[in-house]
Amino acid sequence: MSADTPRRIVLLRHAKADWPQVSDHERPLADRGRMDAPVAGRRLADTGIPFDLALCSTATRTRETWKLAVHELPERPRTVYEERLYEASLGDLLALLNETPDEVDDLLLIGHNPGMHALADALAGKAEGDTLQRMSRGGFPTAAFAVIGFSGSWKTVEHGVGTLLDYWAPHD
């Protein structure tokens, strides 16, 4: 892999979760989340990105989101359930990205706020079109995703390295 290998990181926030009397980690999707997750999957499929790897938080709501979204993709990527994605800080997320093997060109992270939004903001040194304004205006609601492109090794991922290529939220 050369230093100019184009790569993409897609940050998907879990769909809307319910608030039953369970631990935060075990919260399931709400009815709206079960409707939004497949829509997010179809929009991910529309990007045409052939994901090499999906890293999904171990929380119930992220696993349920991924299970509903992945059925909409043309091919199921290798999926790793990563407990470090649950309650991950920006530093934790950057460390995870830096550990990604260089054979991976296109990575999907399925996680939580505030981490997903913080990571999108931190990585996007530039943006195409009005994507940054749309993301800033809408925050990073449930089932939203951001696509960030960069070149080089995963070990070089740091603040400002990428370009926000796309942003989508279910109720835009």
Which residues sit in the known binding site for substrate? 61
Looking at this protein, which amino acid is placed at residue 16?
Answer: K
* Distances 80 to 84, 108, 140 between C-alpha atoms, Å: 11, 10, 23
Residue with tokens 């990527």: 77
Q: Is 87 a catalytic residue?
A: yes
Give the active site residue among 25, 72, 87, 128: 87
Annotated binding site: 61
Q: Are residues 145 and 168 in contact, defined by beta-carbon separation less than 8 angstroms?
A: yes
Give the active site residue among 14, 64, 82, 112: 14
* CA-closest candidate to residue 13, choices 95, 51, 73, 69: 69
Phi, psi of 105 (to 5 degrees): -95, -40
List, by residue number, the catalytic residues: 14, 87
